[in-house]
Amino acid sequence: MAVKKILTEPNKFLRQISKPVEKVTKDEQKLMDDMLETMYAANGIGLAAIQIGIPKRIIVMDLSKEEAKKPIYFVNPVIKNKDPLKASYEEGCLSVPNQFANIDRPSRCEVEYLDYDGKKQRLKANGLLATCIQHEMDHLNGVLFIDYLSKLKRSIIIKKLSKLKPNSAIL
């Protein structure tokens, strides 16, 4: 297992559409192990493969607050049902460091995916889990939470991040 570098906005890789995984092999499992270790090291609750530069439709998540870890692995996730009722959460993103905003999303959703062993699973989510799944699904489609903000708010955030990382704007 290894801790990888997390890409931060602005970076064109984060805007890429990730590709479906054909089969969950040792390579994908190794990637999921690295993603989980990277996520824990960064104190995140979710991570999409593209955040470490790999354009595969893979997400890892762990919302457990206790010492015992409870990782969930999603390969080729598809959202099946979205509740028309919206819920608002203050979101942050490891690829948009130190920036937070309240975002409205469907309060509940169902997701179909393959697990760590390539087995088909279906999960009903609400609360923070539902928000996090949708946030991570967005990463697979090249979307960041700041895309839901006004142009002005988004450009202020991107300007701040570009200052921290002067060369990134041309990547």
Would you tell me which residues interact with ligand GNR (CB under 6 A)?
44-48, 51, 89, 91-95, 131-132, 135-136, 139
Token reading at 2: 């290894």
Among 5, 71, 63, residue whose Cα is nearest residue 33: 71
Token reading at 95: 């690829």
- Number of Cβ atoms within 10 Å of the Cβ of 6: 18
Active site residue 9: no
Indicate the residue among 25 and 126 with the shorter CB distance to ligand GNR.
126
Q: Which does 11 bind (CB under 5 to 8 A by kind): Ni ion, ligand GNR, none?
A: none
Candidate list 9, 28, 91, 136, residue with the active-site label: 136
Q: Which does 158 bind (CB under 5 to 8 A by kind): Ni ion, ligand GNR, none?
A: none
93 lies in the site for Ni ion, by CB under 5 A: yes
| 134-157: b (≥16 Cβ within 10 Å) or e | bbbbbbbebbbbbebbeeeebeeb
State in angstroms the smallest separation of the CB of 105 from ligand GNR: 9
State in angstroms the smallest separation of the CB of 28 from ligand GNR: 18
Q: Phi then psi for 155, rounded to 5 degrees? A: -70, -30
State in angstroms the smallest separation of the CB of 95 from ligand GNR: 6
Per the CB < 8 A criterion, the answer to whether 94 and 5 are in contact is no
Q: Which residues are catalytic?
A: 136
Interaction site with Ni ion (CB under 5 A): 93
